[in-house]
Amino acid sequence: MSEKTLSKIRGFLLNVLFMIIAFMMSYIMAYEIGYAPLGYEIIEKKEETVLVQSHNLLGLKEEKINFHPADYKEWHIDMLVDRVGYLKQDYLLFFASIFAVPLLIIKELYRGKQKRIVLFAVLFLMVYPTITLMSSLNDIESILAGTY
């Protein structure tokens, strides 16, 4: 093989390694540690009520919320449990993008890419996970407030 082909293969494998490291670190944070800044977790679910634990910006437990919907909105309980369950996936993608961005910036600037292209790629990489996470948190807050 030529040196050019080997260098492309090494670059590809380096990108794969960066993404594996980013996903492993984000998996550990989201699932193993359970770090969820501004997030929620279900403490107890009964037929008519759900006890939800909220977290502050640092991911520390803040207050317990006892959610009891109106009789005609009992389906909100199942929806709330589902949304809180999906939060870990949203945090996984969010943390993976946070860990992948610095690695991408360092690698691309080292290769001599233009700063505008790198910044555009970074913004594109961060937009989707941030929007999905904020949308999930807003849905949970509106369900708890009774405005969903």
> What is the full DSSP assignment across 24-45?
HHHHIIIIII---TT-EEEEEE
Domain membership flag for residue 55: no
Neighbours of 22 (CB within 10 A): 20
Domain of 29, in residue numbers: 3-36+69-145
Domain membership flag for residue 129: yes
Query: In angstroms, rounded to a whole number, what is the distance separating the alpha carbons of residues 24 and 88?
Result: 14
Q: What percent of the chain has pLDDT over 70?
A: 99
Window from 39-48, 120-129, 131-140 with minimum mean pLDDT: 120-129
Domain membership flag for residue 85: yes
Is the pLDDT at 122 greater than 80? The verdict is: no
Domain membership flag for residue 117: yes
Long-range contacts of range 6-12, CB-CB < 8 Å, 24 or more positions apart?
none
Domain membership flag for residue 22: yes
pLDDT band with cut points at 50, 70 and 90 for residue 125: confident
Q: Are 5 and 78 in contact (CB under 8 A)?
A: no
State the total domains in the chain.
1
Domain membership flag for residue 53: no
Q: What percent of the chain has pLDDT over 90?
A: 41
Domain membership flag for residue 52: no
